[in-house]
Amino acid sequence: KTQIISICFFFLFYSIDKWKKRWVESKHQPDYGQFQLTAGKFYGDKERDKGLQTSEDAKFYALSTRFKPFSNENETLVVQFSVKHEQGIDCGGRYVKLFPATLKQEDMHSESEYYIMFGPDICGFGNNKVHVILYHQGKYHENNKTIKCRINKDTHLYTLVIRPNATYEVKIDNQQVAAGNLEDDWDFLPPKKIKDLYVRKPRKSDVRLQIEDPEDQKPENWEDFEYIPDPKAKKPDDWNEAMNGEWEEPLILNPKYKGQWKPWIIDNPSYQGEWIHPERDNPKYKPDPTICHYYNISVLGLNLWQVKSGSIFDNFLLTNDEEFAEEVGNNTWGTRKDPEKQWRELHEEMEKRKREEQAQRKREQEEEEDNDDFWRTEEKGNDRQMLEGDADGAFPGKNEEALADWKDEL
Ligand SMILES: *[C@@H]1O[C@H](CO)[C@@H](O)[C@H](O)[C@H]1NC(C)=O
Ligand SMILES: *[C@@H]1O[C@H](CO)[C@@H](O)[C@H](O)[C@H]1NC(C)=O
Ligand SMILES: *[C@@H]1O[C@H](CO)[C@@H](O)[C@H](O)[C@H]1NC(C)=O
Ligand SMILES: *[C@@H]1O[C@H](CO)[C@@H](O)[C@H](O)[C@H]1NC(C)=O
Ligand SMILES: *[C@@H]1O[C@H](CO)[C@@H](O)[C@H](O)[C@H]1NC(C)=O
Protein backbone atom coordinates (compact mmCIF):
# COMPACT_ATOMS: atom_id res chain seq x y z
CA LYS A 1 0.00 0.00 0.00
CA THR A 2 1.26 3.44 -0.90
CA GLN A 3 2.16 5.88 1.75
CA ILE A 4 -0.68 7.97 3.08
CA ILE A 5 -0.65 11.57 2.04
CA SER A 6 -3.12 13.47 4.09
CA ILE A 7 -3.66 17.10 4.57
CA CYS A 8 -5.98 17.94 7.41
CA PHE A 9 -6.94 21.49 8.16
CA PHE A 10 -9.33 21.22 11.00
CA PHE A 11 -6.76 21.32 13.77
CA LEU A 12 -6.02 24.83 12.60
CA PHE A 13 -9.42 25.95 13.72
CA TYR A 14 -8.69 25.57 17.40
CA SER A 15 -7.17 28.99 17.56
CA ILE A 16 -7.79 32.17 15.71
CA ASP A 17 -4.08 32.97 15.28
CA LYS A 18 -3.38 29.71 13.57
CA TRP A 19 -6.07 29.89 10.95
CA LYS A 20 -5.37 33.52 10.13
CA LYS A 21 -1.76 32.62 9.42
CA ARG A 22 -2.63 29.77 7.11
CA TRP A 23 -5.53 31.25 5.14
CA VAL A 24 -5.26 34.08 2.67
CA GLU A 25 -8.03 36.49 1.85
CA SER A 26 -8.24 37.60 -1.76
CA LYS A 27 -7.95 41.30 -2.52
CA HIS A 28 -9.34 40.95 -6.02
CA GLN A 29 -12.47 42.75 -4.87
CA PRO A 30 -12.38 45.24 -2.01
CA ASP A 31 -15.55 43.96 -0.38
CA TYR A 32 -15.28 40.21 0.05
CA GLY A 33 -17.24 38.86 3.00
CA GLN A 34 -15.42 38.03 6.22
CA PHE A 35 -15.14 34.61 7.78
CA GLN A 36 -15.15 34.20 11.53
CA LEU A 37 -14.09 31.33 13.74
CA THR A 38 -17.01 29.90 15.67
CA ALA A 39 -18.85 26.72 16.50
CA GLY A 40 -22.11 28.55 15.87
CA LYS A 41 -25.35 28.58 17.78
CA PHE A 42 -25.42 24.85 18.48
CA TYR A 43 -22.63 22.31 18.40
CA GLY A 44 -21.26 19.15 19.96
CA ASP A 45 -18.20 20.77 21.52
CA LYS A 46 -17.68 24.53 21.69
CA GLU A 47 -13.93 24.34 21.00
CA ARG A 48 -13.57 21.28 18.84
CA ASP A 49 -16.45 22.17 16.56
CA LYS A 50 -15.21 25.61 15.64
CA GLY A 51 -15.05 26.24 11.94
CA LEU A 52 -15.00 29.02 9.39
CA GLN A 53 -18.31 30.80 9.27
CA THR A 54 -19.47 33.24 6.62
CA SER A 55 -20.45 36.33 8.60
CA GLU A 56 -21.86 38.90 6.18
CA ASP A 57 -25.02 38.68 4.12
CA ALA A 58 -25.12 39.13 0.37
CA LYS A 59 -21.37 38.86 -0.17
CA PHE A 60 -18.84 37.04 -2.26
CA TYR A 61 -16.22 35.14 -0.30
CA ALA A 62 -12.71 34.33 -1.45
CA LEU A 63 -10.47 32.66 1.09
CA SER A 64 -7.87 29.99 0.46
CA THR A 65 -5.06 27.98 1.99
CA ARG A 66 -1.95 26.57 0.36
CA PHE A 67 -0.18 23.27 0.95
CA LYS A 68 2.66 21.26 -0.54
CA PRO A 69 1.73 20.44 -4.17
CA PHE A 70 0.75 16.87 -4.94
CA SER A 71 -0.67 14.91 -7.83
CA ASN A 72 -3.36 12.27 -7.85
CA GLU A 73 -1.90 10.42 -10.84
CA ASN A 74 -2.18 6.69 -10.01
CA GLU A 75 -3.53 7.64 -6.62
CA THR A 76 -6.94 7.87 -5.09
CA LEU A 77 -8.00 11.40 -4.23
CA VAL A 78 -10.42 12.03 -1.40
CA VAL A 79 -11.80 15.53 -0.82
CA GLN A 80 -13.79 15.81 2.37
CA PHE A 81 -15.25 18.56 4.53
CA SER A 82 -18.24 19.30 6.67
CA VAL A 83 -20.63 22.20 6.42
CA LYS A 84 -23.54 23.39 8.49
CA HIS A 85 -26.19 25.84 7.29
CA GLU A 86 -27.36 27.35 10.56
CA GLN A 87 -29.07 30.15 8.73
CA GLY A 88 -31.50 27.73 7.17
CA ILE A 89 -32.62 27.48 3.60
CA ASP A 90 -31.44 30.27 1.44
CA CYS A 91 -29.47 30.92 -1.67
CA GLY A 92 -25.74 30.35 -1.87
CA GLY A 93 -22.80 28.05 -2.41
CA ARG A 94 -21.39 25.77 0.25
CA TYR A 95 -18.66 24.13 -1.77
CA VAL A 96 -14.88 24.00 -1.85
CA LYS A 97 -12.53 24.37 -4.79
CA LEU A 98 -9.13 22.80 -5.40
CA PHE A 99 -6.65 24.89 -7.33
CA PRO A 100 -3.30 24.34 -9.02
CA ALA A 101 -0.14 25.75 -7.48
CA THR A 102 -0.17 28.59 -10.01
CA LEU A 103 -3.14 30.26 -8.31
CA LYS A 104 -2.35 33.67 -6.86
CA GLN A 105 -4.26 33.52 -3.65
CA GLU A 106 -4.36 37.29 -3.14
CA ASP A 107 -6.05 37.57 -6.51
CA MET A 108 -8.35 34.58 -6.34
CA HIS A 109 -11.82 35.23 -7.79
CA SER A 110 -14.69 33.39 -9.33
CA GLU A 111 -12.96 33.14 -12.73
CA SER A 112 -9.72 31.72 -11.30
CA GLU A 113 -8.93 28.40 -12.92
CA TYR A 114 -9.57 25.44 -10.63
CA TYR A 115 -9.45 21.66 -10.85
CA ILE A 116 -12.37 20.55 -8.74
CA MET A 117 -15.42 22.23 -7.32
CA PHE A 118 -17.23 20.02 -4.86
CA GLY A 119 -20.08 20.53 -2.44
CA PRO A 120 -23.64 21.63 -1.99
CA ASP A 121 -25.26 24.58 -3.69
CA ILE A 122 -28.64 25.54 -2.33
CA CYS A 123 -31.16 28.00 -3.63
CA GLY A 124 -34.56 27.59 -2.05
CA PHE A 125 -36.22 24.23 -1.60
CA GLY A 126 -36.29 23.24 -5.24
CA ASN A 127 -32.79 24.01 -6.32
CA ASN A 128 -30.35 22.11 -4.21
CA LYS A 129 -27.63 19.88 -5.51
CA VAL A 130 -24.13 18.70 -4.91
CA HIS A 131 -21.76 20.09 -7.51
CA VAL A 132 -18.95 17.90 -8.71
CA ILE A 133 -17.38 20.07 -11.39
CA LEU A 134 -14.20 18.63 -12.83
CA TYR A 135 -11.70 20.34 -15.06
CA HIS A 136 -10.50 18.52 -18.15
CA GLN A 137 -8.59 19.94 -21.10
CA GLY A 138 -9.60 23.54 -20.75
CA LYS A 139 -13.23 22.89 -19.84
CA TYR A 140 -15.33 22.46 -16.74
CA HIS A 141 -17.60 19.45 -16.70
CA GLU A 142 -20.63 19.25 -14.46
CA ASN A 143 -21.89 16.01 -13.06
CA ASN A 144 -24.78 14.79 -15.18
CA LYS A 145 -26.20 12.62 -12.44
CA THR A 146 -28.04 14.94 -10.07
CA ILE A 147 -27.07 14.54 -6.44
CA LYS A 148 -29.40 16.08 -3.89
CA CYS A 149 -27.87 17.66 -0.81
CA ARG A 150 -29.13 17.81 2.74
CA ILE A 151 -30.91 21.06 3.46
CA ASN A 152 -31.54 20.96 7.20
CA LYS A 153 -29.54 22.99 9.72
CA ASP A 154 -27.28 20.21 10.97
CA THR A 155 -23.66 19.66 10.06
CA HIS A 156 -23.20 17.28 7.14
CA LEU A 157 -20.10 15.57 5.89
CA TYR A 158 -19.38 15.67 2.16
CA THR A 159 -16.88 13.29 0.57
CA LEU A 160 -15.69 12.96 -3.01
CA VAL A 161 -13.55 10.00 -4.01
CA ILE A 162 -11.80 9.85 -7.40
CA ARG A 163 -9.93 6.62 -8.04
CA PRO A 164 -7.10 5.84 -10.45
CA ASN A 165 -9.33 3.34 -12.28
CA ALA A 166 -11.55 6.29 -13.26
CA THR A 167 -14.38 5.44 -10.89
CA TYR A 168 -15.81 7.87 -8.38
CA GLU A 169 -17.99 7.98 -5.35
CA VAL A 170 -19.82 10.77 -3.54
CA LYS A 171 -20.79 10.29 0.08
CA ILE A 172 -22.89 12.40 2.40
CA ASP A 173 -22.52 11.62 6.09
CA ASN A 174 -20.37 8.62 5.18
CA GLN A 175 -23.21 7.11 3.11
CA GLN A 176 -22.83 6.63 -0.61
CA VAL A 177 -25.16 8.86 -2.62
CA ALA A 178 -23.60 8.45 -6.07
CA ALA A 179 -20.99 6.22 -7.65
CA GLY A 180 -19.91 5.03 -11.06
CA ASN A 181 -17.49 5.71 -13.86
CA LEU A 182 -16.20 9.20 -14.48
CA GLU A 183 -16.69 8.73 -18.20
CA ASP A 184 -20.35 7.81 -17.86
CA ASP A 185 -21.51 10.55 -15.53
CA TRP A 186 -19.61 13.52 -16.97
CA ASP A 187 -19.28 14.36 -20.62
CA PHE A 188 -15.50 14.56 -20.74
CA LEU A 189 -15.34 12.64 -24.00
CA PRO A 190 -17.56 12.23 -27.04
CA PRO A 191 -19.99 9.34 -26.49
CA LYS A 192 -18.65 5.81 -26.98
CA LYS A 193 -21.55 4.79 -29.20
CA ILE A 194 -23.54 6.79 -31.71
CA LYS A 195 -26.62 6.04 -33.81
CA ASP A 196 -25.80 4.16 -36.97
CA LEU A 197 -27.02 6.50 -39.69
CA TYR A 198 -26.80 3.77 -42.33
CA VAL A 199 -29.63 1.93 -40.72
CA ARG A 200 -33.03 3.40 -41.48
CA LYS A 201 -36.20 2.98 -39.61
CA PRO A 202 -38.30 0.38 -41.46
CA ARG A 203 -41.14 2.08 -43.33
CA LYS A 204 -43.78 -0.30 -42.08
CA SER A 205 -43.50 -1.19 -38.50
CA ASP A 206 -46.42 -2.28 -36.38
CA VAL A 207 -46.33 -0.20 -33.21
CA ARG A 208 -49.84 -1.09 -32.00
CA LEU A 209 -49.51 -2.83 -28.66
CA GLN A 210 -53.08 -4.26 -28.78
CA ILE A 211 -55.65 -4.76 -31.51
CA GLU A 212 -59.24 -5.90 -31.92
CA ASP A 213 -59.42 -9.67 -32.27
CA PRO A 214 -60.11 -10.33 -35.97
CA GLU A 215 -61.35 -13.85 -35.10
CA ASP A 216 -64.03 -12.59 -32.80
CA GLN A 217 -67.42 -12.53 -34.59
CA LYS A 218 -70.64 -10.98 -33.50
CA PRO A 219 -72.96 -13.82 -32.39
CA GLU A 220 -76.00 -14.22 -34.63
CA ASN A 221 -78.51 -13.80 -31.85
CA TRP A 222 -76.89 -10.63 -30.50
CA GLU A 223 -79.61 -8.07 -29.88
CA ASP A 224 -78.16 -4.66 -30.57
CA PHE A 225 -81.35 -2.61 -30.81
CA GLU A 226 -81.95 -0.76 -27.62
CA TYR A 227 -85.59 0.00 -28.55
CA ILE A 228 -88.01 -2.23 -30.39
CA PRO A 229 -91.59 -1.79 -31.56
CA ASP A 230 -93.95 -2.93 -28.83
CA PRO A 231 -95.18 -6.40 -29.95
CA LYS A 232 -98.25 -6.09 -27.74
CA ALA A 233 -99.45 -2.85 -29.28
CA LYS A 234 -102.39 -2.97 -31.59
CA LYS A 235 -103.50 -0.54 -34.22
CA PRO A 236 -106.53 1.30 -32.85
CA ASP A 237 -109.68 0.49 -34.75
CA ASP A 238 -110.48 4.10 -35.41
CA TRP A 239 -107.03 4.89 -36.85
CA ASN A 240 -107.48 7.37 -39.64
CA GLU A 241 -104.68 6.71 -42.07
CA ALA A 242 -105.55 9.65 -44.25
CA MET A 243 -105.22 12.05 -41.35
CA ASN A 244 -102.55 10.43 -39.12
CA GLY A 245 -100.43 8.58 -41.62
CA GLU A 246 -99.47 4.95 -41.46
CA TRP A 247 -99.82 3.44 -37.96
CA GLU A 248 -96.54 2.40 -36.20
CA GLU A 249 -96.09 0.50 -32.98
CA PRO A 250 -94.75 2.63 -30.17
CA LEU A 251 -91.12 1.82 -29.20
CA ILE A 252 -90.28 0.09 -25.93
CA LEU A 253 -86.96 -0.86 -24.32
CA ASN A 254 -85.70 -4.12 -25.77
CA PRO A 255 -85.52 -6.60 -22.85
CA LYS A 256 -82.93 -8.68 -24.71
CA TYR A 257 -80.73 -5.69 -25.45
CA LYS A 258 -77.08 -6.55 -24.71
CA GLY A 259 -75.41 -3.31 -25.56
CA GLN A 260 -73.23 -2.54 -28.51
CA TRP A 261 -71.22 -5.52 -29.57
CA LYS A 262 -67.46 -4.99 -29.47
CA PRO A 263 -64.77 -7.47 -30.41
CA TRP A 264 -62.25 -8.59 -27.82
CA ILE A 265 -59.03 -6.61 -27.52
CA ILE A 266 -55.99 -8.82 -27.74
CA ASP A 267 -52.22 -8.30 -27.69
CA ASN A 268 -51.07 -7.57 -31.18
CA PRO A 269 -49.26 -10.72 -32.40
CA SER A 270 -47.33 -8.72 -34.98
CA TYR A 271 -46.26 -5.99 -32.55
CA GLN A 272 -42.63 -5.15 -33.21
CA GLY A 273 -41.96 -2.78 -30.37
CA GLU A 274 -40.65 0.73 -30.59
CA TRP A 275 -37.94 0.78 -33.14
CA ILE A 276 -34.56 1.25 -31.58
CA HIS A 277 -31.95 2.88 -33.69
CA PRO A 278 -28.97 0.51 -33.80
CA GLU A 279 -25.72 2.04 -32.53
CA ARG A 280 -22.17 1.68 -33.61
CA ASP A 281 -18.80 2.65 -32.19
CA ASN A 282 -18.18 6.37 -32.39
CA PRO A 283 -15.03 6.95 -34.46
CA LYS A 284 -14.49 10.21 -32.54
CA TYR A 285 -14.33 8.45 -29.20
CA LYS A 286 -10.90 7.77 -27.81
CA PRO A 287 -10.44 6.60 -24.24
CA ASP A 288 -8.47 9.10 -22.22
CA PRO A 289 -6.65 7.67 -19.23
CA THR A 290 -5.73 11.15 -18.00
CA ILE A 291 -9.25 12.18 -17.00
CA CYS A 292 -9.09 13.71 -13.54
CA HIS A 293 -5.34 13.47 -13.27
CA TYR A 294 -4.39 16.69 -11.60
CA TYR A 295 -0.87 17.93 -11.06
CA ASN A 296 0.40 20.34 -8.47
CA ILE A 297 -2.86 20.42 -6.55
CA SER A 298 -1.89 23.03 -4.04
CA VAL A 299 -4.67 25.32 -2.86
CA LEU A 300 -8.02 24.72 -1.24
CA GLY A 301 -10.41 27.63 -1.41
CA LEU A 302 -13.80 28.84 -0.31
CA ASN A 303 -14.93 30.94 -3.22
CA LEU A 304 -18.63 31.44 -3.11
CA TRP A 305 -21.63 33.76 -2.95
CA GLN A 306 -24.13 33.75 -0.12
CA VAL A 307 -27.30 35.75 0.32
CA LYS A 308 -27.74 34.87 3.97
CA SER A 309 -24.52 34.15 5.80
CA GLY A 310 -23.96 31.65 8.59
CA SER A 311 -22.55 28.52 6.93
CA ILE A 312 -19.79 26.90 8.96
CA PHE A 313 -17.10 24.95 7.11
CA ASP A 314 -14.94 22.54 9.01
CA ASN A 315 -12.92 19.33 8.93
CA PHE A 316 -11.33 19.81 5.54
CA LEU A 317 -9.36 16.75 4.56
CA LEU A 318 -7.44 15.73 1.46
CA THR A 319 -6.07 12.22 1.42
CA ASN A 320 -5.40 9.21 -0.79
CA ASP A 321 -6.85 6.79 1.73
CA GLU A 322 -10.61 6.24 1.57
CA GLU A 323 -10.77 4.32 4.81
CA PHE A 324 -8.83 6.95 6.68
CA ALA A 325 -11.20 9.61 5.39
CA GLU A 326 -14.15 7.59 6.63
CA GLU A 327 -12.52 7.21 10.02
CA VAL A 328 -11.79 10.94 10.25
CA GLY A 329 -15.39 11.56 9.29
CA ASN A 330 -16.56 9.24 12.05
CA ASN A 331 -14.32 10.96 14.58
CA THR A 332 -15.34 14.49 13.67
CA TRP A 333 -18.81 14.75 12.15
CA GLY A 334 -19.75 11.37 13.64
CA THR A 335 -19.16 12.42 17.24
CA ARG A 336 -20.81 15.81 16.99
CA LYS A 337 -23.93 15.01 15.03
CA ASP A 338 -26.13 13.70 17.84
CA PRO A 339 -25.44 16.29 20.56
CA GLU A 340 -25.56 19.00 17.92
CA LYS A 341 -28.96 17.87 16.70
CA GLN A 342 -30.35 17.64 20.22
CA TRP A 343 -29.12 21.10 20.94
CA ARG A 344 -30.45 22.50 17.70
CA GLU A 345 -33.89 21.18 18.54
CA LEU A 346 -33.70 22.72 22.00
CA HIS A 347 -32.43 25.96 20.52
CA GLU A 348 -35.30 26.09 18.05
CA GLU A 349 -37.77 25.43 20.85
CA MET A 350 -36.28 28.30 22.86
CA GLU A 351 -36.38 30.66 19.92
CA LYS A 352 -39.99 29.80 19.37
CA ARG A 353 -40.89 30.49 22.99
CA LYS A 354 -38.94 33.74 22.94
CA ARG A 355 -40.92 34.87 19.92
CA GLU A 356 -44.18 33.89 21.58
CA GLU A 357 -43.23 35.78 24.74
CA GLN A 358 -42.33 38.88 22.78
CA ALA A 359 -45.62 38.77 20.95
CA GLN A 360 -47.46 38.37 24.26
CA ARG A 361 -45.59 41.33 25.77
CA LYS A 362 -46.40 43.47 22.78
CA ARG A 363 -50.07 42.64 23.13
CA GLU A 364 -49.99 43.54 26.83
CA GLN A 365 -48.26 46.85 26.12
CA GLU A 366 -50.80 47.76 23.53
CA GLU A 367 -53.60 47.03 25.96
CA GLU A 368 -51.98 49.24 28.58
CA GLU A 369 -51.64 52.11 26.19
CA ASP A 370 -55.40 52.19 26.03
CA ASN A 371 -55.50 53.15 29.74
CA ASP A 372 -56.01 56.77 30.83
CA ASP A 373 -53.20 59.34 30.78
CA PHE A 374 -52.46 59.53 34.48
CA TRP A 375 -51.81 55.86 34.89
CA ARG A 376 -49.98 55.61 31.64
CA THR A 377 -47.10 57.88 32.79
CA GLU A 378 -46.77 55.97 36.03
CA GLU A 379 -46.81 52.61 34.42
CA LYS A 380 -44.42 53.44 31.65
CA GLY A 381 -41.54 53.52 34.13
CA ASN A 382 -42.57 50.32 35.81
CA ASP A 383 -43.01 48.76 32.51
CA ARG A 384 -39.48 49.37 31.40
CA GLN A 385 -38.04 48.03 34.64
CA MET A 386 -40.06 44.96 34.31
CA LEU A 387 -38.89 44.43 30.78
CA GLU A 388 -35.24 44.70 31.73
CA GLY A 389 -35.78 42.37 34.64
CA ASP A 390 -37.42 39.97 32.28
CA ALA A 391 -34.58 39.94 29.84
CA ASP A 392 -32.07 39.08 32.55
CA GLY A 393 -33.86 36.74 34.83
CA ALA A 394 -36.88 35.27 33.18
CA PHE A 395 -37.32 32.37 30.86
CA PRO A 396 -34.75 32.76 28.07
CA GLY A 397 -31.85 33.61 30.38
CA LYS A 398 -32.59 30.78 32.75
CA ASN A 399 -32.72 28.35 29.93
CA GLU A 400 -29.41 29.38 28.59
CA GLU A 401 -27.92 28.54 31.97
CA ALA A 402 -29.70 25.23 32.01
CA LEU A 403 -28.30 24.60 28.58
CA ALA A 404 -24.77 25.37 29.69
CA ASP A 405 -25.11 22.84 32.51
CA TRP A 406 -26.47 20.32 30.16
CA LYS A 407 -23.54 20.89 27.81
CA ASP A 408 -21.03 20.40 30.59
CA GLU A 409 -22.48 17.03 31.37
CA LEU A 410 -21.94 15.82 27.83
C1 LIG B 1 1.39 6.03 -13.22
O2 LIG B 1 1.23 4.78 -13.83
C3 LIG B 1 1.71 4.74 -15.17
C4 LIG B 1 1.38 3.39 -15.74
O5 LIG B 1 1.67 2.38 -14.82
C6 LIG B 1 3.20 5.05 -15.18
O7 LIG B 1 3.68 5.05 -16.52
C8 LIG B 1 3.46 6.40 -14.53
O9 LIG B 1 4.83 6.66 -14.43
C10 LIG B 1 2.84 6.45 -13.17
N11 LIG B 1 2.96 7.80 -12.64
C12 LIG B 1 3.39 8.06 -11.41
C13 LIG B 1 3.45 9.51 -11.03
O14 LIG B 1 3.72 7.19 -10.63
C1 LIG C 1 -24.64 15.83 -19.71
O2 LIG C 1 -25.13 17.16 -19.58
C3 LIG C 1 -24.81 17.98 -20.68
C4 LIG C 1 -25.22 19.37 -20.34
O5 LIG C 1 -26.45 19.41 -19.71
C6 LIG C 1 -25.50 17.43 -21.93
O7 LIG C 1 -25.17 18.23 -23.05
C8 LIG C 1 -25.01 16.01 -22.17
O9 LIG C 1 -25.69 15.44 -23.24
C10 LIG C 1 -25.21 15.14 -20.95
N11 LIG C 1 -24.53 13.90 -21.17
C12 LIG C 1 -25.03 12.71 -20.87
C13 LIG C 1 -24.15 11.54 -21.13
O14 LIG C 1 -26.14 12.60 -20.38
C1 LIG D 1 -11.95 0.58 -9.06
O2 LIG D 1 -11.25 0.57 -7.83
C3 LIG D 1 -12.09 0.34 -6.70
C4 LIG D 1 -11.25 0.51 -5.44
O5 LIG D 1 -9.97 0.00 -5.61
C6 LIG D 1 -12.73 -1.03 -6.80
O7 LIG D 1 -13.54 -1.27 -5.68
C8 LIG D 1 -13.53 -1.08 -8.07
O9 LIG D 1 -14.08 -2.37 -8.23
C10 LIG D 1 -12.70 -0.71 -9.28
N11 LIG D 1 -13.58 -0.61 -10.43
C12 LIG D 1 -13.24 -0.93 -11.66
C13 LIG D 1 -14.29 -0.75 -12.70
O14 LIG D 1 -12.14 -1.34 -11.93
C1 LIG E 1 4.33 21.44 -11.04
O2 LIG E 1 5.03 22.52 -10.49
C3 LIG E 1 6.42 22.44 -10.72
C4 LIG E 1 7.07 23.55 -9.91
O5 LIG E 1 6.48 24.77 -10.17
C6 LIG E 1 6.70 22.56 -12.20
O7 LIG E 1 8.09 22.43 -12.45
C8 LIG E 1 5.96 21.43 -12.92
O9 LIG E 1 6.10 21.58 -14.31
C10 LIG E 1 4.50 21.42 -12.56
N11 LIG E 1 3.89 20.23 -13.13
C12 LIG E 1 2.82 20.26 -13.89
C13 LIG E 1 2.38 18.97 -14.46
O14 LIG E 1 2.24 21.29 -14.14
C1 LIG F 1 -17.55 4.61 10.63
O2 LIG F 1 -18.76 4.46 11.38
C3 LIG F 1 -19.68 3.52 10.81
C4 LIG F 1 -20.94 3.60 11.61
O5 LIG F 1 -20.68 3.52 12.96
C6 LIG F 1 -19.04 2.15 10.80
O7 LIG F 1 -19.92 1.22 10.22
C8 LIG F 1 -17.74 2.21 9.99
O9 LIG F 1 -17.10 0.96 10.05
C10 LIG F 1 -16.83 3.29 10.55
N11 LIG F 1 -15.69 3.39 9.63
C12 LIG F 1 -14.42 3.45 10.03
C13 LIG F 1 -13.40 3.48 8.97
O14 LIG F 1 -14.10 3.49 11.20
| Phi (first) and psi of residue 65, to 5 degrees | -135, 140
What is the Cα–Cα distance from 134 to 120, expressed in whole angstroms?
15
pTM, whole model, 2 decimals?
0.73
Tell me if 138 is assigned to some domain. yes
Q: 323 with 353, same domain?
A: no
Q: Tell how far the Cα of 4 is from the centroid of ligand 4, in angstroms.
A: 21
Q: What is the pLDDT of residues 29-66, one digit of tens each?
A: 999 999 999 989 888 888 888 899 999 999 999 999 99
Tell me if 390 is assigned to some domain. yes
Q: 150 with 113, same domain?
A: yes
Q: What is the pLDDT of residues 123-168, one digit of tens each?
A: 877 788 999 999 999 999 999 999 998 888 899 999 999 999 999 9
Q: 67 with 129, same domain?
A: yes
Paired strand residues for 262? none
Q: Which of 319, 330, 335 to mutate to test the pocket of ligand 5 (most atoms within 8 A of CB)?
A: 330
Q: Which of 296, 297, 298 to mutate to test the pocket of ligand 4 (most atoms within 8 A of CB)?
A: 296
Q: How many folded domains does the chain comprise?
A: 2
Q: Tell how far the Cα of 327 is from the centroid of ligand 5, in angstroms.
A: 7
What is the Cα–Cα distance from 285 to 278, expressed in whole angstroms?
17
Q: 299 with 359, same domain?
A: no
Q: 65 with 93, same domain?
A: yes
Q: Find how far residue 113's CA is from the centre of its chain.
A: 26
- The domain containing residue 172 runs over which residues? 6-192+289-331
361 Cβ inside 6 Å of ligand 3: no
Tell me if 317 is assigned to some domain. yes
Tell me if 158 is assigned to some domain. yes
- Measured CA to CA in angstroms, residue 47 lies from 39, 60, 69, 339 at distances of 7, 27, 30, 14
Q: Which atom of ligand 2 is nearest to the CA of 191?
A: 13
Q: 314 with 353, same domain?
A: no
Reported as type and span, the H/E element at residue 85 is: strand 77-85
Q: What is the pLDDT of residues 252-278, one digit of tens each?
A: 888 888 888 888 999 988 887 778 888
Q: What is the pLDDT of residues 296-327, one digit of tens each?
A: 999 999 999 999 999 999 999 999 889 989 99
167 Cβ inside 6 Å of ligand 3: yes
